[in-house]
Structure formats: C-alpha cells, structure tokens
Amino acid sequence: MTPGRRTLHAAACHLARPLWRRLRPRLEAIAREQVAPIAERSEAAAARLHSDLDSLRGELRAEVSSLGRRLDDLDSTVEWLNGEHRRIAPQLAAVESRLAEVEHRLGRTGCVEGVAPDELGHVTALVDEIRSEHARVRTRLSLVARYEERLTRLEETRGA
C-alpha cells in the first residue's frame, strides 16, 4: 500500500469505529436469530443420530454375543466330529484291508480258498454286503469331510 492509501485507510477506520460499535451488536443479534433455528434442528438431528447409533450398537452387541455362543457350540461339535473321525478311521482301514484281501483271493482263483463250491453263493453275498457297507461308510466319511471343509472355510472367513 502506498503512503496515501494507508492514510485514507486509517482515516476510514477511525471514522467508522463509532458506527461499527453501534452496528456490531445489531448484526450479531440478527445472526443469532437466523442461526438459532438451524442450530436447534441440527442438535435434534444429532440427538436422533446418536439414539439410532446407540440402538444399533445394542443390536450388534446382541448379535456378536449370539454368534460367539453359536461358534462355541460349533467348535465343540467340530471337536466331537474330529474325535469320531479319528475313532472310525482305523476301523474303516481294517474293513478296506479285509475287503481287498477277499477281492484278491476271489480275483486270483475265482473261488475263495477253503470254501466249497456250494458255499460260493453265500461268500459272494457276503462280499456284496461288505461292499455295500463299505460304500455307506465311504459316503458318511465324505459327508464328514465336506462338513469339516465347510467349517474350515467358515473359520478362515471369521479369522480374515
């Protein structure tokens, strides 16, 4: 600013001070009147939002608690299934071994050693029964394996 402009600016500020002292309280009152309804609406909206958030937090806490209980139940079920799988696996291996041995003997000679030809029908029926039981056991174990796979995916999703 040039010296002349500074002087004019100082004179204008000096002359405007009394006018500004009178106008300022009036302008502030008008501003308060205009802002008050907006502030009240904003405060009411904020209070509603806080209330909604509090209710949502409560619902979320209940859901998380319920989910925790369900996961605990699921965990105990998975532990039980794993125990059953460990218990059944050796039995299934033994059945498979016995079946393989019988099939091997039948396939090699066409007849089971030590079985009379008239008893062959009974032995064949027994082998068929063993095969069907083997299929049922295999189906059950595949269901258990799918269930464990699904639980693993759920645990991975939960952990992610």
45-85 residue pLDDT tens:
889 999 999 999 999 999 999 999 999 989 888 888 888 88
2-18 residue pLDDT tens:
888 888 888 888 888 88
- Mention every residue, 6+ apart, whose C-beta is less than 8 A from residue 95: 130, 133, 134, 137
**Residue 1 C-alpha from the chain's centroid:** 68
Strand, helix or coil for residue 115: coil
| Domain count of the fold of the chain | 1
CB-based contacts of 31-34 (< 8 A; 24+ apart in sequence): none
Question: Which residue range(s) make up the domain with 55?
Answer: 3-159
Instruction: Give the per-residue pLDDT at 81.
Output: 87
95-114 residue pLDDT tens:
887 877 777 776 655 555 66
